[in-house]
Structure 1
Amino acid sequence: MKKLLVFLVCLCACIATSYAQKGESALGFNLNYGNDTNIGLGVKYRYGLTEHLRIEPAFNYYFKHDYVSMWDLNANFHYLCPVAENITVYPLAGLGYANATAHLKDLGEGWKNVSDGKIAVNLGAGADFQVSSSVKLNLELKYQIIDGYNQLVLGAGVVFAL
């Protein structure tokens, strides 16, 4: 697992430095559903490195469910594949940091909240649907691989060109 993580970090660094060019950028907001964490909200920024490759840093917060809340910070790469005039699909791969908090104080006096953060590997796919020249709707499904805790995340959002 550690060798895979080091390989992915090196690969991401090489891609970002060797193909970096001025490209399109966009800001987006999304609603997420994690199969273990419940509902979450997120914000993301997209930057086109090449015609077919973009990077997407993102922050997501998952609301408290069964005394646990979670947030994650991710950097995903998308390889864009136009399939129709207004539809683009993409596989995604990336790295992130996930932090979960158990809200044990809610159980009563004498309890303390406990947090734990770990590195995550993201694998999945998504689709963009061009609504206008500056607005896209987005659907995404990704699997977050986290040591001792994995989750499937379904996201839906809107992205605005900058």
Structure 2
Amino acid sequence: MKKIILAIAIMLCSASIASAQDAGKWAIAPKMSIYTNTAINDAVVGLGASGRYSITDNWRIEPAITALLHNHCSIDVSCDAQYLFHINDSWAVYPSVGLTTNEIDKWAFGMNIGAGCDFRVANNWDLTAGLKWQPMFDDHRTNPVVIMIGGSYRF
């Protein structure tokens, strides 16, 4: 009898340890972006990924890296803070603000200001879309507008 009680206690402790690692604390998100209003004539396509870490149920940070595919391949590195408004169990919308550095025409540093939404399509999978404006801190640079679509897998 003592072994059965001990086994049940171990199972309950194991279940409580596993539940402390709720799905949604970390996520990986592959993305495709279109950079408009760039310093070069055409829009620039970007392929990249981001990581998401949920600080609370509503706050998360999202560092990202994107390869910009134009005449000279370059990168965009950013980190955003997002506040999630949970519309229901499947939908969330969020405003986003953060910092970015990229090399569209030359290296520059700036901000990200935007918004997006997540839609749950499976237990750990979301579709995500967003729009952000990147005001850059140099004098002559145009400020790109980035349209993004992708997916995310939550751990």
Common fold: TM-score over 0.5: yes
Q: Which has the larger radius of gyration?
A: 2
- TM normalised by structure 2 equals 0.75
Tell me which protein shows more strand as a share of its residues: 1
Cα shift readout 1:10-62 (whole Å, capped 9, x = no counterpart): xxxxxxxxxxxx97000010010111342110100000111110000000111
Matched with 1:108 is none
- Report the counterpart of residue 85 of structure 1 in structure 2: 89
Across the aligned residues of Structure 1 and Structure 2, the Cα RMSD in angstroms comes to 1.7
Deviation of 1:68 after TM superposition, in Å, equals: 4.7
In structure 2, the residue matched to 1:113 is: none
Q: How does 1:9-48 map to 2 (within 5 A)?
A: 24-35=25-36, 36=38, 37-48=43-54
Match of 2:78 among 71, 74, 83: 74
Query: Equivalent residue for 1:131?
Result: 121
TM-score normalised to structure 1 length? 0.72
* C-alpha displacement of 1:123: 0.2
Misfit runs of 4+, over 6 Å = none
* Distance verdict in 2 for CA 1:69–1:150, change over 3 Å: farther
Residue 83 of structure 1 and its aligned partner are, at CA, apart by 1.1
Partner residue, 1:94: 98
Taking only the aligned residue pairs, the percentage that are identical comes to: 29
For the Cα contact (< 8 Å) 2:45–2:69, is it kept in 1?
Answer: yes
Structure 1, unaligned stretches of length 5 or more? Answer: 1-21, 102-115
